[in-house]
Amino acid sequence: MAEASASRSEIWRKRWGRFRAGVRASAPFAGGVLAAFAALILYNILFPAPHPLTNNAVSTTVAQALASATPPPAFSEQVFQVIQPSLVLIETKSTDSAGNAENSLGSGVVIDQGGDILTALHVVASSSSIQLTFADGSQSSGQITAKQPQDDIAVVQPDHPPALLVPAVLGNPNAMRIGDEAYVVGNPYGLYSSMSAGVISGFDRSFQPTGTNIRLQGLIQIDAAVNPGNSGGPLLNRYGEVIGIIEGLVNPTDQNFFVGIGFAVPINTAASAAGLPPD
């Protein structure tokens, strides 16, 4: 019996020894696992996960981003910057049938480095003198160098052009469509360098100016405001290219103010008076 008890004790001591050895061998691994769990718990405490975005939060963020974005400039702003250096104020003196002095004004646009200015013929036709004012403020007398009566177009040349001439870029009216943007820059009622905006309302219109027996053909119809003083100025597309020369306006009354219908001579017709077909 004593020997059997000693044998069992020896067996348990060996088992216990093996267990302790196993525990010692696995202790580093277990410690690493516990350390990893502890680090994970500590990280979640120090750096909690963000709350999920709600639909309202997303909408608010998008709205704030859109509100802070700078919108591009309007086409009209760019058009004005492009054409303004080429704009000319035309003032004329003449006498009526009774011999009384008359002063009138209109608009024109520089179309080449030689200083040729396109305008409407009726602006300068009966003048005894022509005074030109350029975008830089310089002034010069002018002379009519070409006429195209069937289209009411004239070319005026300054006697003393400014040191820096900025010709306008001529566009292609055949590329335009009804509904396209249309811009008019001129000097209505003497308000220098004024701009109005609208759309192309029609093509191939005809128009007989008041007091004449000439019926103009192939005109561009626009709804951008045209008033006395705009005649001879440029009609522009959204890129600031000249697509026409302003001819006049239609008013069912005897009053000389705009009611929604204006006309322009296409630039490919008007430019031929100066021998300059558009690009």
What's the domain range around 96?
Answer: 85-158
Q: What pLDDT was estimated at residue 58?
A: 72
Least confident of 116-125, 170-179, 269-278: 269-278
Residue 32 lies in a domain: yes
192 and 123 in a common domain: no
Residue 200 lies in a domain: yes
Q: Please compute the mean of the pLDDT values over residues 39-64 and round it to a whole number.
A: 72
Structure-model confidence comparison of residues 38 and 109, the more confident one: 109
Q: Quick one: what percent of the chain has pLDDT higher than 90? A: 59
Q: Please compute the mean of the pLDDT values over residues 35-56 and round it to a whole number.
A: 71
Q: Which position among 127, 196, 201, 231 bears the catalytic label? A: 231
Residue 72 lies in a domain: no
Q: Are 267 and 171 a contacting pair, CB within 8 Å?
A: yes
- Provide the pLDDT confidence category of residue 25 given band limits of 50, 70 and 90: low
Least confident of 62-71, 130-139, 233-242: 62-71
Tell me if residue 152 is catalytic: yes
CA 168/CA 182 separation, integer angstroms:
16
Residue 267 lies in a domain: yes
130 and 197 in a common domain: no
Q: Which position among 152, 194, 196, 223 bears the catalytic label? A: 152
Q: Is the pLDDT of residue 279 over 60?
A: no
Tokens of 185: 């820059």
265 and 238 in a common domain: yes
Q: Please compute the mean of the pLDDT values over residues 169-188 and round it to a whole number.
A: 96
Residues 6+ apart with CB under 8 A from 51: none
When the pLDDT of each residue in the chain is averaged and rounded to a whole number, the result is 86
Structure-model confidence comparison of residues 63 and 216, the more confident one: 216
Beta strands in 58-100 (DSSP E): 87-95
184 and 151 in a common domain: no
99 and 60 in a common domain: no
Residue 78 lies in a domain: no
205 and 114 in a common domain: no
Q: Which position among 107, 116, 122, 127 bears the catalytic label? A: 122
Q: What pLDDT was estimated at residue 189?
A: 92
pTM: 0.73
197 and 139 in a common domain: no
Q: Is the pLDDT of residue 99 over 60?
A: yes
131 and 103 in a common domain: yes
- Provide the pLDDT confidence category of residue 160 given band limits of 50, 70 and 90: very high
Residue 203 burial by CB count (10 A; 0-12/13-18/19+): exposed, middle or buried? middle
Q: Please compute the mean of the pLDDT values over residues 174-193 and round it to a whole number.
A: 95
Classified as helix, coil or strand, 74 is: coil
Q: Which sign does the torsion angle of CA 123, 173, 87, 182 carry?
A: positive
Least confident of 128-142, 201-215, 253-267: 253-267
What's the total number of domains in the chain? 3
Structure-model confidence comparison of residues 125 and 65, the more confident one: 125
Residue 79 lies in a domain: no
**Domain CATH number, residue 207:** 2.40.10.10
Smallest CA-to-CA distance from 238 within 197, 186, 202, 279 is with 197
